[in-house]
């Protein structure tokens, strides 16, 4: 499945929907170096387990409400939602293997 870019307006539908299943949310910004490092890693995660988890990106500059709602103070911040509820959070760039294992804990 492709990684989706979502906004404050589409956050509820794509992430907080009880039927959404497991969603990995990447809170990021284009000017953030570590966020740019994480992007290709997320593409690899999507290629490996994208059929089991939906991956979405939220640009904190364009969608500050979603970031504020979940206390995002630094980026990149990754959050896992399961059936519309936030269940876990990780900060900073993570290696692909670690991200895959982390997501699989919540499947």
Measuring CA to CA, which residue among 25, 29, 2, 28 is closest to residue 12? 25
Measuring CA to CA, which residue among 69, 38, 70, 71 is closest to residue 55? 38
Cross-strand pairs, 91: 77
The residues that are catalytic are 32, 35
């Amino acid at each position: 499945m492709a990684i989706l870019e979502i906004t404050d307006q589409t956050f509820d539908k794509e992430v907080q929907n009880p039927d959404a299943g497991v969603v990995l949310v990447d809170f990021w910004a284009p000017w953030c170096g570590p966020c740019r490092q994480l992007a290709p890693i997320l593409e690899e995660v999507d290629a490996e387990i994208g059929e089991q988890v939906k991956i979405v990106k939220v640009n904190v500059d364009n969608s500050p409400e979603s970031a504020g709602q979940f206390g995002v103070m630094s980026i990149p911040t990754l959050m896992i939602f399961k059936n519309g509820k936030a269940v876990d959070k990780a900060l900073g760039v993570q290696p692909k293997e670690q991200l895959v294992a982390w997501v699989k804990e919540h499947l």
